[in-house]
Structure formats: C-alpha cells, structure tokens
Chain A
C-alpha cells in the first residue's frame, strides 16, 4: 500500500472517462438523498440487478457516485424545509434552516454545496494518501471504548441544545431509551415493544426521522402562510445569481473550517458503525466550542452550516477504508458494496491493493471525480432549488406529510411504520413546542441500539462487572475528554460572561 503518483494520475484520468456513469448517478443520488426514506443504500438495493450486471469497476464507480451525491442531496431539504433527507444531515438544519427563514436559502445551499464538495474531496485525497494508517484506527476501538464514544455522542446533545442543557440531555436519554426498544442482540428478549412484533427488530430509523423532523414540522408551520419571515420574503425577492456567488465566496473564505471539520468526519467514518450523524454532531459541537461567537450558533451562523456538511461528506470516504482494508463495511451502503463486489469474486483486504489496485483505490478516485463534477452541475441549481421556500404552507404542509409518510413505509414495507412515523410526529411536535431538541431525540434513537450492543459485549466479557467501562487506558482518556466536553463549554461561557461584565463595569467607570 505504498504511494505511487503514476498510479493515481492514471486512475484519475481513467475515472474521468466514466463520466457517463457518474453523471446519472449524481442526479439519482441527489434525488434519493433529498427524499427521506430513499437512502443511497435502499437505492443501490433497488438497482442491484443493474449493478450486478455491470463490470465490477463500472458498478463500483456507479455506487460510489450515488453514495457521495446522496450525502449532499440530504442537506438540501434539511436547509430549505428543515427536513433532513437522511440521519447524516440531522445537524444541517440547526443553522441551515434559520438561514432559509431569513431569505438566505440560496446562499445556504451554495455554502452547503461548496463545504460538501471541498470537505468530501479533501477527505478523499487524504484517505488515498493515509490509507495504511487510517485503517489502524478501527483496531484500537473495542466495546469499552465504543461505549464512551456513544456516550460522547449523547453528551454533544447537551451542548447543542445549550439554551437548556438539561432539556437537551432529557431528550437525548429519552431517545436512547426508545432506541433500546426491541429484542436484545445476545438473549433475543423483547423489551418495551408494547406487544408489537414490528418493534422486535428495534425502532426503525426512517420512521423516527420522518416523524421527528418532517411530520412535526408540517404540523408546526401551518400557523404561518410561509416558512419565510417577512424580512426573508423581501430578501428572497431580491435574490439573484449574486447570492450563489456570495455563498461560494463565504464558504471558500472558511477553508480552514471546512478542512478540520471534514477531517473529523473522515476519522469518525473509519470507525465501523459510527456514521455520518455522529460525525456531523461532533463537528458541529467542536466548531461551536472553539468559535469566538458560539452564541450565534443556531441562528443561521455560516460556520454552523459548514461544520456538519463538510463532516458528513468527510465520512463518505472514511466508511470505505475498513471495507477495503480489512473487509469490514463502515456503514449500510458500504455493506451493500461489499455484497456486490463479492458477487463478482472480489476479495477485500490487503491483497486487493496488490492484485487489483484499480479496484482498491478506484472508489476514492471515483469519489473525487464525483465531487469535482458535482460542483459544476449542482451549484447553478441553488437559485432554482431555493424557490421552494416561497411555496405557501397551505401546499407545502400536506405535501410534506403525504410524501414523507410514504417514505417511512419504503424501507421495510410495513404499514405499521407509517403509524410509527405519526407517533414520532406527535413526539416531535411536543418537543418543538416545548423546547426539547428533536435532533437530540433522533441521535438517541440512532445510538441506543449501538450503545446497548457494546454494553452487552463488554459486560459479557467481564461477567457482568460494570466497572469494565473503566478498564482500558484509551477508554479512560475518552471518559476524561467526555467530562471535559460537558464542562468546558460551560466554563468558557462563564469566563466570557465575566469578562464582558468586567468590560462593561470598566466602561461605566470611565464614563
């Protein structure tokens, strides 16, 4: 796995010749990413007959392009109508949607596209160069360490919902309890299912996402004629191409922010099972912690939009690392890619890099080329996409309810899942109206089953001793970091308040 510039140049040149596969995959990915329920994984499954019939290299390029573009597509409805297309975009509306409400939807889309493309591109290039070292990350994280990583995810909620940390934590832990519903992985005992067989296999994520974000939002927005504020409407009427260009300029001026938040995504993506949702929230929280203006986060702050978008695109190449290097898929889409490649007789692992470097490095070249083509194809569309926000809620609300509820049905094809989405809609509506964070509940639902699995594994190994969670040095370091992540923002905020108070007092004395 040594660096060979000639190989990479040849690979990139060759990948560009597959533009005829990449282009349709990009548009398909953007559409399926933007519709809740239609993830890249589902679409690749639907299109399996097509990908299996393709040459392995072409099939892989198609899947990778669809995967990368769906990640970007998921951010579009998150920004415009507060409905993330996938869980990976759940942190995007935190600042993206307030920008839309202010009539800056077009600008927000441009910022999101540039952050996604450069974040994704950068992570892909770094992955190519650092593949041998990155692949080692997964080896150091066992059940005990993963428990802390999962709790880290929940601790982020406290800081994300900083207007009321306690409510943020309650929402997150309530989400975790919901995520615990179903049969446990070791003893297969059903718990908290209310007798519904459909819940034995855990709470499905798409109905939770649809209910908490889409249905609750649709019920909430009917109070107003438009999702835009009066000032936002005026700004939208004036908006022209310059808004897109301004968005590009703003995003490029924050190149360093894009860089480090996409690296967070890359590293988290390498850990199997962690995923884009965690990466986006971690990046958002870190961005706010180190910001000079943390109080602006959640109000339509540019950096609050850049962080999750570049991080969740950084994850995309990260999830492919364990797949290609050790044959462990980092997420659902990577798992399906594994199935397709195994069908073609391709064996993952170190040998792949020696025997078929075009297949081993090919996905990253395909991803880089996809991101490169995407910036030219999607950026001009920002102006037209943002027009959706001027549609009256009289039309918008019923459309959101009907189409997203059907989206909840798609993954498992149970009628029950639509009712479940409605129940989550009620929970989400109450949460919105009373100041509990819907994103906090969702991340709890995502992390619940993972946390429980790692807990069970750790406890099995220690024969039920709970102190096992403090048994590893790395885990203990992570515990300290977790505690610091909860306490530091509070201390920094307190220090800032004190300083402002002192400055105000000094100003008063001078006067």
Chain B
C-alpha cells in the first residue's frame, strides 16, 4: 500500500468512548433491578418498564457500533473522550483539586477554601503565570462571595476559622 492510498483511506471513527456511558447505564440498571427484587410487584412495574426500554436502546446502540467496527469504518479507541491528550494531566490535577475543595471545605470554611482553590486551580491552568493577578482575583472573589452569600443572603455555608473570626468581630 502506498502513502497515497493511506491518505485517501477515510479516517476511522473512534467509538470506544461512546460505550462508556451506556455500559455505566446498563450496570446501574441491573443494580437497580437487584434492589427492587423484594419490593411489591406494583412498585416494580414502572422501574422494569423504563429499565427494559433503556436496555433495549443500549442493545440497539451496541449492535450499531458492532456493525461499524465489523465493517472497518470504526474502532473501539476512546477518541474524543481523551483528546487532546496533552490536557489529560491538567484535567486530572484539576479534578484532584476539586476533590480537595469538597473534602477540606468542612474544616477550612467557605472563604479560605474558595481562595485556596481559586489560587491553585488558576496557577495550574495558567502554568504559573500572572501570579499577582491570580492572588488578587482569588482574594476579591473569596471576600465578595463571603459578603454576598454569608453576610447578605445569610446562607449557611460551611463555616471555618475566617467566618468564625468575622462573627466574633462583628
């Protein structure tokens, strides 16, 4: 096969990513059915009605993808789900920061955790540039958020050292 032939060959679609959500949906539906085995029949019917339609639709999708793979017009690589590859580490780091945000908000409180998260996430995305701007934006937003949500709207956000100090002061 020459280079010319390779160039003319249509690009194959990567459909592996398309299967992730359906597999999750399928496993969840089976788990849901398992949890309703012992409930009265009337309470089972609507879940079986919806779940069966979902499984039927998933089978159609699987057959459609299977046909395309068999015909050679598609493969099972993850494709768009992981592209562009260069962003995978950044995205995973941002996910880790987000998990940390939720985990620590209980102890650090809204204002401090928002400030820390904004600084770290913005530094991550900017690759360490514009530090002054980032600290300024994070500070203004954290304090602004505190004033709007906690002071003005009296929202019961998780309180930490900063909120407790402010409450004692004012």
Contacts and interface: CB of A to CB of B under 8 A. Distances in A.
Contacts of B9: none
Nearest to A189: B39
B156 A413 contact: yes
B125 A393 contact: yes
A209 B53 CA distance: 24
A502 B94 CA distance: 53
B45 A430 contact: no
B141 to A, nearest CB: 6
A220 B166 CA distance: 37
Interface in B55-106: 57-58, 60-61, 64, 80-81, 84, 87, 90-91, 94-95, 98-99, 101-102, 105-106
B78 to A, nearest CB: 9
A434 B21 contact: yes
Interface in A420-453: 422, 427, 430-431, 433-436, 448, 451-452
Contacts of A455: 45-46, 49
B164 interface: no
Contact of A177 (B54, B110, B121, B134): B54
A191 B20 CA distance: 23
Interface residues of A, number: 61
B17 interface: yes
Contact of B118 (A169, A223, A402, A422): A402
A305 B25 CA distance: 31
Nearest to B55: A173
A176 interface: yes
Given A177-B32, A430-B81, A464 B50 contact: no
B118 A398 contact: yes
Interface string A374-415: 000000000000000000011101110111011001100101
A222 interface: yes
A395 to B, nearest CB: 6
A434 B117 contact: no
Contacts of B80: 433-434
B47 A402 contact: no
B157 interface: yes
A406 B117 contact: no
B80 to A, nearest CB: 5
B121 A459 contact: no
A403 B145 contact: yes
B50 A176 contact: yes
A177 B50 contact: yes
A250 B41 CA distance: 55
A173 B53 contact: yes
Nearest to A433: B81
Interface stretch (A179-187, A229-237, A294-302): A179-187
Contact of A405 (B35, B54, B98): B98
A170 B21 contact: yes
A434 B18 contact: yes
Interface centre among B47, B84, B110, B134 (most CB of A within 10 A): B47
Contacts of B61: 166-167, 170
Contact of B60 (A166, A451, A464): A166
A466 B119 CA distance: 56
B162 interface: no
Contacts of A451: 46, 50
Contacts of B25: 170, 173-174, 177
B143 to A, nearest CB: 13
Nearest to A466: B45
B32 A192 contact: yes
A240 to B, nearest CB: 27
Given A166-B64, A452-B46, A219 B35 contact: no
B1 interface: no
A430 B20 contact: yes
A409 B130 CA distance: 31
A192 B98 contact: no
Contacts of B130: 394
Contact of A222 (B36, B54, B94, B98): B94
B22 interface: yes
A173 B32 CA distance: 13
A187 B43 contact: yes
A460 interface: yes
Interface of B: 17-18, 20-22, 24-25, 28-29, 31-32, 35-36, 39-43, 45-47, 49-51, 53-54, 57-58, 60-61, 64, 80-81, 84, 87, 90-91, 94-95, 98-99, 101-102, 105-106, 110, 113-114, 117-118, 121-122, 125-126, 130, 134, 137, 141, 145, 149, 153-158
Given A222-B90, A399-B141, 17 more contacts: A46-B154, A166-B61, A171-B21, A173-B53, A173-B57, A176-B54, A177-B25, A191-B32, A398-B117, A398-B118, A406-B105, A409-B158, A418-B102, A422-B98, A430-B21, A434-B21, A435-B18
The 6 A-B residue pairs with the shortest CB-CB distance in the complex, in nearest-first order: A398-B121, A455-B46, A173-B54, A192-B32, A174-B25, A394-B125
6 contacts: A187-B40, A190-B35, A398-B121, A402-B101, A455-B46, A456-B43
